[in-house]
């Protein structure tokens, strides 16, 4: 599960916006978070980094798959949805 802290004063505003976009995108296309107990779900971890001078975000997604082929089509759908909501 995702622990939401949208008013965290330590986070750069771009990170808060990117987290919101990721949550909306995963809900829209029904991407399940990884479940440690059952081993089900695709999205295992995320990391957000911000370039402070531009506010641009670098998003790293860690997927529950043993190869890139096994991330499909879910990962491609997630990337397309993220690009749609946050071009």
pLDDT above 80 (res 13): yes
pTM for this model (two decimals): 0.84
Which pLDDT value is given to residue 10?
A: 81
Q: Which residue has the tokens 């499909």?
A: 72
7 pLDDT exceeds 90? no
User: What's the rounded Cα separation, in Å, for the pair 24 and 40?
Assistant: 20
pLDDT in tens, 17-34: 898 899 999 999 999 999
Rounded to whole angstroms, how far apart are CA atoms 7 and 79? 26
DSSP designation for 8: -
pLDDT digits (tens, 9 = 90+) for 33-52: 999 999 999 999 999 999 98
């Amino acid at each position: 599960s995702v622990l939401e802290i949208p008013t965290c004063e330590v986070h750069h505003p771009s990170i808060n916006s990117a987290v919101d976009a990721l949550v909306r995108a995963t809900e829209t296309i029904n991407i399940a978070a990884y479940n440690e107990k059952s081993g089900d779900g695709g999205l295992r971890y995320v990391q957000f980094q911000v370039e402070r001078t531009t506010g641009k975000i670098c998003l790293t997604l860690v997927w529950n798959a043993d190869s890139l082929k096994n991330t499909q089509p879910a990962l491609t759908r997630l990337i397309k949805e993220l690009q749609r909501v946050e071009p």
